[in-house]
A and B are shown apart, each in its own frame.
Chain A
Amino acid sequence: MRWRKILVPLAVATALGAVVARAEEDKSAQSIEQYREALKDGNPAELYESSGEELWKKPAGPKNVSLEKCDLGLGAGVVKGAYAQLPRYFKDTDKVQDAESRVLTCMSTLQGVDVAKYVNASFGTPEKDDLNAIATYISGQSKGVPVKVSLALPKEQQMYDLGKRMFYYQGGSHDFSCATCHGEEGRRIRLQDLPALATKKGAGSAWTSWPAYRVSAGQMWGMQWRINDCFRQQRFPEPVYASDVTIALSMFMAANANGALMDTPGIKR
Chain B
Amino acid sequence: MGHPMKIRASSKDGVTEIKVLMNHEMETGFRKDSSGNVVPAWFIREVTAKLNDKIVMTAQWGPSVSKNPYLAFKVKGGKAGDKVSVSWVDSQGDTRTDEATVT
* A and B touch in their complex, CB below 8 angstroms: yes
List chain A positions with a Cβ less than 8 A from chain B: 41-44, 46-47, 50-51, 213, 215, 218
In the assembly, what is the distance between CA of A47 and CA of B24, in Å?
A: 10
Choice from A41, A47, A213, A215 contacting B3 with Cβ under 8 Å: A47
Residues of A within 8 A of B4 (CB): 47, 50
Contact between B6 and A50 (Cβ–Cβ < 8 Å)? Answer: yes
In the assembly, what is the distance between CA of A43 and CA of B21, in Å?
A: 8
Contact between B19 and A44 (Cβ–Cβ < 8 Å)? Answer: no
Contact between A44 and B3 (Cβ–Cβ < 8 Å)? Answer: no
Q: B70 near A: Cβ within 8 Å?
A: yes
In the assembly, what is the distance between CA of A46 and CA of B5, in Å?
A: 10
Contact between B21 and A47 (Cβ–Cβ < 8 Å)? Answer: yes
Interface residue count on the B side (C-beta < 8 Å):
12
Return B43 CB to nearest CB of chain A, in Å: 13
Choice from A41, A50, A218 contacting B68 with Cβ under 8 Å: A218
- B58-74 residues at the A interface, CB under 8 angstroms: 66-68, 70, 72
Choice from B19, B66, B68, B72 contacting A47 with Cβ under 8 Å: B68
In the assembly, what is the distance between CA of A213 and CA of B66, in Å?
A: 13
Contact between B19 and A42 (Cβ–Cβ < 8 Å)? Answer: yes
Q: Which of A42, A43, A50 has the most CB of B within 10 A?
A: A42
User: A42-B19, A47-B21, A47-B23 in contact; A218/B67 too (CB < 8 A)?
Assistant: yes
Return A187 CB to nearest CB of chain B, in Å: 29
In the assembly, what is the distance between CA of A110 and CA of B72, in Å?
A: 42
B26 — nearest CB in chain A belongs to which residue?
A: A218
Q: Which of B6, B66, B68 has the most CB of A within 10 A?
A: B68
Residues of B within 8 A of A213 (CB): 68
Contact between B67 and A42 (Cβ–Cβ < 8 Å)? Answer: no
A217 — nearest CB in chain B belongs to which residue?
A: B67
Contact between A41 and B19 (Cβ–Cβ < 8 Å)? Answer: yes
Choice from A46, A215, A218 contacting B6 with Cβ under 8 Å: A46
Return B65 CB to nearest CB of chain A, in Å: 12
Residues of A within 8 A of B21 (CB): 42-44, 46-47
In the assembly, what is the distance between CA of A213 and CA of B67, in Å?
A: 12
Return A16 CB to nearest CB of chain B, in Å: 41
Contact between A47 and B6 (Cβ–Cβ < 8 Å)? Answer: yes
Return A268 CB to nearest CB of chain B, in Å: 14
In the assembly, what is the distance between CA of A41 and CA of B21, in Å?
A: 10
**Ordered nearest first, which 6 A-B pairs have the shortest CB separation?**
A218-B67, A44-B68, A42-B70, A47-B23, A46-B6, A42-B21
Return A226 CB to nearest CB of chain B, in Å: 19
Return B99 CB to nearest CB of chain A, in Å: 15
In the assembly, what is the distance between CA of A219 and CA of B21, in Å?
A: 15
In the assembly, what is the distance between CA of A44 and CA of B21, in Å?
A: 7
Residues of A within 8 A of B3 (CB): 47, 51
In the assembly, what is the distance between CA of A50 and CA of B5, in Å?
A: 10
Q: Could you list some 23 contacts between A and B, CB below 8 A?
A: A41-B19, A42-B19, A42-B21, A42-B70, A42-B72, A43-B21, A44-B21, A44-B23, A44-B67, A44-B70, A46-B6, A46-B21, A47-B3, A47-B4, A47-B6, A47-B21, A47-B23, A47-B68, A50-B4, A213-B68, A215-B66, A218-B25, A218-B66
